[in-house]
Amino acid sequence: MVSKRERATKIVATLGPASSSPEMIKALYEAGVDVFRLNFSHGTQENHGRVLGAVRALEKEVGRPIGVLADLQGPKLRLGRFVDGFINLTAGTTIRFDTDTAPGDEKRVPIPHPEILEALHEGSTVLLDDGKVRVRVVKKGNGYIEAEVIAGNKLSNNKGFNVPDVLLPVSALTDKDRSDLFFALDLGVEWIALSFVQRPEDVIEAKELIQGRAQVNLKLEKPQAVEHLTRLTELSDSIMVARGDLGVELSLPEIPALQKRVIRESRRLGKPVIVATQMLESMISAPVPTRAEVSDVATAVYDGADAVMLSAESAAGQYPVEAVAMMDQIIKQVERDPGYRAIIESQRPDAGHSVADAVTQAAYQAALSIDAAAIVTYTLSGTTTLHAARERPRIPIVGIASQLSTARRLVMSYGVHVVHAPEEIHTFGEMATKATQVTVEHGFAKEGDKIAITAGVPFATPGTTNVLRLVTVDKSMATRKPRPEDKTDTLRPRAAAKSAGGAAVRSMPVADKAD
């Protein structure tokens, strides 16, 4: 029997120095990782290529699709250097920021980004070293600003800085990002994560470069992106709530409500959503998390996230496998809570108005009515399965994907057990037979159980979810290969009617039942 996860919420884990060996990658997968993240802010392209090779080898070994997300660094803004390596700042004093590359001191700080100085204005807030130092611009001149120190007392070389209240005149893709992007695409990753997106044009630019070779994961990190949340979610293929940088540029009390809002919006639009950053931070150096961290992971699960993510905990920590196992246990415990299902159901988005929405909702209701063991979705592009995941059903979703790239992408989605089945399906009979075989083989159904199947006809046509079929698992059907008579179960229209203008109108089967 093929192994399956006993939970609906997925786990994303970052690979790094502590977890880049084939043995460790396998241990992380066995502990519960569904998608691996390659962080291009660290490491070399050569190293990332080697790590991805190990993931692909593991995928062949276990016989299960594994997703890979390549996370681009983005335009990380950093200060220059200081004569003594650091300076001490005093609240209430004024300090100069300029583009002079000479090392700075207590009187001036070098910023090698003239375009940023140009965009700042009097009253702008500048956050240094992840917000540990805060200054406010009081004067602006040609190539420099003067700022009052509001908080903080020490600043060292090359620390990052953030400008939360200004739309920066920079692309979300640096020259390094473009190089890493094309390298990752050539490797064949499923997801490209975009960092420090500010506006819809940033996503459009990236998609033009990607040309459909991977899907876009939007990292929500900037307040400006929050202002365009709906449009950015529509443009992207998935969302990451990157709470680290959000917590620098927004006030910390705003983050929990924003997290819930992003999850609701992503679910409404049927896009997978990841909650990330500092989820089990203390497990970088401790074998167990804090109670607050456990509650943080649990909250994301109660909110209905598709996935939760580990960063430094799995990439550089001392207990990467334990961190994944802990996250796995937390998710399972939450999903066993009777109150969890009530919360998920109460957050169900309004029904869509497309045929796909209607069929998917009907499939879920029918599956509940007949106590189905699983909902089976046939998909080429992933759309049919994403519609099912949007419902957050209490019944497992078995997503049968004909393309391996689609199967790997769907691993990130809520409640989906993905199966790559490259065999072409031409008829309802073949569809029912294959669905039955897969659900039995993968441990979701047994003889006598019922399953609900959704698909689109014509088969192998993206975005055409229009068929619902209910099937009772029959032992002979679960074990036999398709027979010649299955070919007679064609997808011809059942009837043709005449429209007012006399043209023939084809009526495709939207619901079929076979017991």
Pairing of strands 161-162, 125-128: antiparallel
Cβ-proximal residues to 494 (8 Å cutoff; 6+ apart), any chain: 507, 509
Instruction: Give the largest CA-CA distance in the chain.
Output: 86
Given 14, 277, 377, 383, which residue is catalytic?
277
Pairs from 184-188 (Cβ < 8 Å, separation ≥ 24): 184/38, 184/40, 184/48, 184/70, 184/214, 185/210, 185/213, 185/214, 187/48, 187/49, 187/52, 187/70, 188/405
Catalytic residue status for 108: no
- List the catalytic residue out of 76, 78, 96, 213: 78
Q: Name the E strands within 166-322.
A: 191-194, 215-220, 238-242, 273-276, 307-310
Contact 387, 356 (CB under 8 A): yes
Q: Which of 37, 64, 207, 271 is catalytic?
A: 37
Per the residue annotation, which of 219, 392, 409, 450 is the catalytic one? 219
Is 219 an active-site residue?
Answer: yes
Buried b (16+ CB within 10 A) or exposed e, 48-57: beebbebbee
290 is catalytic: no
Query: Residues 88, 89, 93, 99: what is their CA dihedral angle, to the nearest 10 degrees?
Result: 90
Neighbours of 19 (CB within 10 A): 26
78 labelled catalytic: yes
Q: Per this entry, what is the length of the chain?
A: 515
Residues acting as catalytic residues: 37, 78, 219, 277
